[in-house]
Every structure is written in structure tokens, then in C-alpha cells.
């Protein structure tokens, strides 16, 4: 219910371009914004700790990215996996990129990676069966838990 009500208050426009001047923003679930990339918790997660990682610049195509932006995105994926492993101890990850609405990208005009932690006994099959998703930790708690490490990350890159 929080998600449904929260959605009504959602910012207008692109979630990755929201609050561009801040290095984090709890309302926007932005864990980290560096010169080249932005990392968000997905407001509609497939699993606890489901992250979205995007270039800071509003770009929809891989070909639009500079080499520096591409490298930065991959670095952020690498560090994000390490931070999620530390806090959530998943057994594996799904990491991917949906390009274009036809491929399932809900926010097709701003390219973004999904990082979805997976556990051996997780219940993500529920998503296939119905719209019910079993998320054991509230997204605000997950945000607070992950924020310090993601803010430290900005200092190291
Ligand atoms: Zn954008």
C-alpha cells in the first residue's frame, strides 16, 4: 500500500534526472549521484535491494554514451554488487539492460541497468504467477542501510 500511495506523490518527469543537484535524495530513492552516474533503489522492486544504475546524462541509447560514461557505469555495477553482497548476502544476481519499450524498459528514454539480488530460496517466481511480490524489508529501511556505503562510493571514484 505504501508503494501505491507513494506513487501518487511521485515526481513528474524522469526519475533518473530528479534532484540532479544532490548526491542523494531519499524521496527519489537516489543512493548516489556522481559526475557520470546515478544509482537508485527501484521503487517497484523484483527483490529487496533491486538497484537501477543510469548515466547521469539523459540518454536512451548505448551509442549515445561516451567511453567515460560506459566505463563509469560498469564500475558502478561492480561496486554495487559488492555493497549488496555485504549487506544482503545474496546467492547470485540478475544484471541487465532493457533497451526500448518493446524490451520491457519502463523508462525507455533514459538508459539504465537493473541489478536484482537473488537468493537460493527466493520467491521471485511469484512475479511470474501474479503481480504479488514478496519483499521482506521495507524499501525505506533498505535505503537507510545502503546509503552510507553508496555515499562513500562517490568519494572513491
Ligand atoms: Zn533522465
Separation of CA 33 and ligand 1 centre (Å): 13
pLDDT at 8: 41
Phi, then psi, of 112 in degrees rounded to 5: -155, 140
Separation of CA 109 and ligand 1 centre (Å): 7
Residue 86 structural domain: 2-156
Q: Number of folded domains in the chain?
A: 1
- Alpha carbons 38 and 55: distance in angstroms, whole number: 6
Mean pLDDT of the chain: 84
pLDDT at 133: 57
Phi-psi region of 61 (alpha: psi -120 to 50; beta: other; left: phi over 0): beta
- Per-residue pLDDT of 98-148, as tens digits, reads 888 777 777 778 999 999 999 987 765 545 445 555 556 789 999 999 999
Higher pLDDT among residues 16 and 107, named by residue: 16
Separation of CA 57 and ligand 1 centre (Å): 7
Q: What's the alpha-carbon Rg for the chain, to the nearest Å?
A: 15
Separation of CA 54 and ligand 1 centre (Å): 9
Of the listed 112, 114, 123, 138, which one is catalytic? Answer: 112
- Annotation says 138 is catalytic: no
CATH number where 40 lies? 3.30.428.10
Instruction: Tell me which of 87-91, 129-133, 150-154 is least confident.
Output: 129-133
Listed residue (119, 118, 122) closest to 134, CA to CA: 122
Amino acid at each position: 500500500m505504501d508503494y501505491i500511495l507513494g506513487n501518487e506523490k511521485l515526481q513528474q518527469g524522469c526519475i533518473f534526472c530528479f534532484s540532479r543537484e544532490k548526491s542523494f535524495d531519499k524521496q527519489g530513492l537516489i543512493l548516489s549521484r556522481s559526475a557520470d552516474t546515478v544509482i537508485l533503489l527501484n521503487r517497484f522492486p523484483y527483490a529487496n535491494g533491486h538497484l537501477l544504475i543510469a548515466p547521469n546524462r539523459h540518454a536512451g541509447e548505448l551509442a549515445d554514451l561516451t567511453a567515460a560514461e560506459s566505463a563509469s557505469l560498469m564500475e558502478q555495477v561492480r561496486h554495487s554488487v559488492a555493497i549488496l553482497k555485504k549487506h544482503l548476502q545474496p546467492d547470485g544476481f540478475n544484471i541487465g539492460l532493457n533497451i526500448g519499450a518493446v524490451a520491457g524498459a519502463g523508462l525507455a528514454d533514459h538508459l539504465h541497468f537493473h541489478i536484482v539480488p537473488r537468493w537460493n530460496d527466493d520467491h521471485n517466481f511469484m512475479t511470474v504467477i501474479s503481480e504479488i511480490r514478496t519483499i521482506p524489508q521495507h524499501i525505506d529501511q533498505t535505503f537507510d542501510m545502503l546509503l552510507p556505503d553508496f555515499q562513500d562510493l562517490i568519494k572513491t571514484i
